[in-house]
Structure 1
Amino acid sequence: MSAPIQKSAAKTKAATQVVTANRLDDGVVVYLDARDGWTERLGEAAIIETPEALAAAVAAGKAAEAARVVVESYPIDVARGPEGLAPLRLREVIRAAGPTVRADLLRPTGA
């Protein structure tokens, strides 16, 4: 019988996350900030690193949905880099950059 598979330390460590959504009135991508408000800048998002903080942030997102401020809030994985926070999934990189059809509509991201 083989030994049980053990998870690596990297797989068990909690990821750094932020909560994102779309603002209801204009559809713009927003991020939950430390004051339970919403910001268009990823660099101003509240950083989530514990299960307790994640539960609180998800609850704040759901409360904002109920108040019809945002739609479809959810946590995303991010990494800290020399330019500030960066999403880890391509979908979120695209959302953070703004529309993909016109370069003149791109908005700055980061700190």
Structure 2
Amino acid sequence: MARAFTPKVVTANDLLEGDVIYLTTANTWTRELQAAELITDEAEAQLRLLEAQSQPQIAVGAYLADAKPGEQGPEPTHFREEFRRTGPSNYAHGKQEAKLEATADV
């Protein structure tokens, strides 16, 4: 028996910068998971994935990631997606560097 469909977001990596990106309801890409479209219909999820995959000049490796509704927007349900959205862990750069700079200014 097939598993019941769970909510998803479309995610990929930015072609030029490598950052994790998410597809929005406006068919644009964002680096913020909370701004991503939370898809609750399986057929719609497949259509949105095809739309993402048709944009290779922007996004690479698009796939559907499990997510859940949260107060601020979609939230990851798996540690892999939490890890991807926070950025690399080997040293502070990109998103992590920006967070360090913001806290240093306080």
Normalised TM-score (structure 2): 0.79
Give the one of 84, 96, 103 matched to 2:85: 96
Which one has a bigger Cα radius of gyration?
Answer: 1
Task: Tell me the percent identity.
Answer: 28
Is 1:47 equivalent to 2:33 in the alignment?
no
Distance 1:27 1:48, change over 3 A: same
**Partner secondary structure for residue 81 of structure 1:** coil
Count residues with an aligned counterpart: 97
Is 1:36 equivalent to 2:27 in the alignment?
yes
Q: Report the residue type matching 1:39 in the other structure.
A: T
Structure 1 unpaired stretches of 5+: 1-5
Q: Report the residue type matching 2:42 in the other structure.
A: P
- Mapping 1:81-92, distance limit 5 Å: 81-92=70-81
How far apart, in 2, do the equivalents of 1:74 and 1:88 lie? 15
Normalised TM-score (structure 1): 0.76
Q: Deviations over 1:72-101 (max 9, x none)?
A: 000000112345422112111100111212
Structure 2 unpaired stretches of 5+: 100-106
Counterpart position of 2:51: 60
Give the one of 50, 59, 66 matched to 1:77: 66
